Structure 1
Amino acid sequence: MIDWPDLPDKRALLARVRGHRSGWDAGFRPPNLEKVGSGEESVWDYPRPPRLDPAPATVTVRQDNVIVAKSDRALDLKETAGAPCPYLPPADVETEWLVPNGRISLCEWKGAAVEFDLAMPGQPRVTGAAWSYPDPFDDLAEDYSRIAGWIAFYPSKLACFVGDERARPQPGGLYGGWITDRIKGPVKGEPGTGHW
């Protein structure tokens, strides 16, 4: 059971981000798009606001070969220019190892996110290993309430797998997207991509 911290007022946050939502040029495409083959997806075909799709395979998260989370019910959040980010239902996560670390971030689409450290017994603490939206914005047709309280993990901090393939972290360290061989970019996060 997660001990959720108090969050800022959702209505005030929503008023604060409305202007950011309209700042995106939906027609923008970088000049070096990777070719997309059969069974592959371009991050430039993902929408903004992002959509939720079922993950294409079982999603597994490990630390030192110990399973932290495993789910056949994960939902991929897909947003223009970003790698998919799986959200797992709490029933499929060892939530007793997740400790809110006091950091709260804000997404213009989903709302306030709570960050977690992974604190497994007898193991070093993994700072900023995961996050969740306990009370996402509910003003859009994409219905982010479906992932309320669901957990996402950083593949830069833990071993994250889609099926048998280990996911690589989205570049830059800010975003939590999972890059696999089927994902084609370029993906935002590198220097010079901040406007993406």
Structure 2
Amino acid sequence: MIGCFSSFCVVNQTLVLRLPNGLSRTLLKGPFLKTQHNSQKVQQLLSRKVYMSNSENLKEESVWDYPRPPRLERTRQRLRVVHRGKVIADTQDGYRILETSHPPTYYFPPESVNRSLFRESNLKTFCEFKGTAIYYDIHVKQVVIRNGAWCYPETEGLYKPISGYFSFYGSKFDEAYVGNEKIIPQEGDFYGGWITKNLKGPFKGAPGTRFW
């Protein structure tokens, strides 16, 4: 029910955000005064970027069903990297690479990372599929995370969409998340995959698995 006057309206309604998992969140409840201030507030609520990603919605996957050459696919799961309470990267517009025996590696668009913390290191590696990767040290509160992130600046072919994107070693940071789930880093110091509870192994990376 809406009652209108010359200078304001009284609105008796509820604004509810419907979430994909069947839940809902009430943002506003009436009655309230529909003044210019409240109209701006409603617009801010409606335009606010709401992260609804939840790793509990991920289907079960076996890393032995992943292909080789690896598959690149978009993911709308919220991806985050945090160290000492500071957000290093945060996106819901990333990619993941799926390769036989490996947990996924996740790639963040450049606008989603805090580049002010990055310093290019001298390390470079070569991938037969994606080309040459360059690495970055991450500087956070007087701590330097050596070679904590990498990037393929000139990837071609199937992997061209991730040119200039960044990926992170979960093992080198305090926290890394897929959706609401804190990941388990892939073993070893080279591959950098992120393990979530929906994944089935065994996973490459531990001693003795180099030639899997």
Partner of 2:147: 128
Deviation at 1:56, TM superposition (A): 5.2
In the aligned structure 2, how far is the partner of 1:65 from the partner of 1:85? 23
> Secondary structure in 2 aligned to 1:69?
strand
8 Å CA contact retained: 2:76, 2:92:
no
Q: What CA distance in whole angstroms lies between the structure 2 residues aligned with 1:114 and 1:153?
A: 12
Q: 1:47 aligns with which of 59, 67, 74?
A: 67
RMSD between superposed Cα atoms in Å: 1.3
TM-score, normalised by the number of residues in structure 2: 0.70
1:128 Cα deviation (Å)? 1.2
Shift of 1:190: 1.4
Matched residue, 2:95 = 75
Q: Between Structure 1 and Structure 2, whose CA radius of gyration is higher?
A: 2
Q: Deviations over 1:44-89 (max 9, x none)?
A: 1111111112235100110111111100001011111101011000
Q: Which residue of 2 aligns with 1:171?
A: 187
Q: Which has the higher strand share?
A: 2
Matched residues in 2 for 1:181 and 1:52: separation? 21
Please give the alpha-carbon distance, in whole angstroms, between the structure 1 residues aligned to 2:69 and 2:83: 32
Counting only pairs closer than 5 Å after superposition, residues 37-186 of structure 1 correspond to structure 2 as: 39-55=59-75, 57-120=77-140, 122-138=141-157, 143-158=158-173, 159-186=175-202
Distance 1:137 1:110 in 2: 7
Unaligned residue ranges in structure 2 (runs of 5+)? 1-57
Q: Distance in 1 between matches of 2:76 and 2:208?
A: 30
How many residue pairs were aligned? 154
What TM-score do you get using the length of structure 1 for normalisation?
Answer: 0.75
Structure 1 gap ranges (5+): 1-37
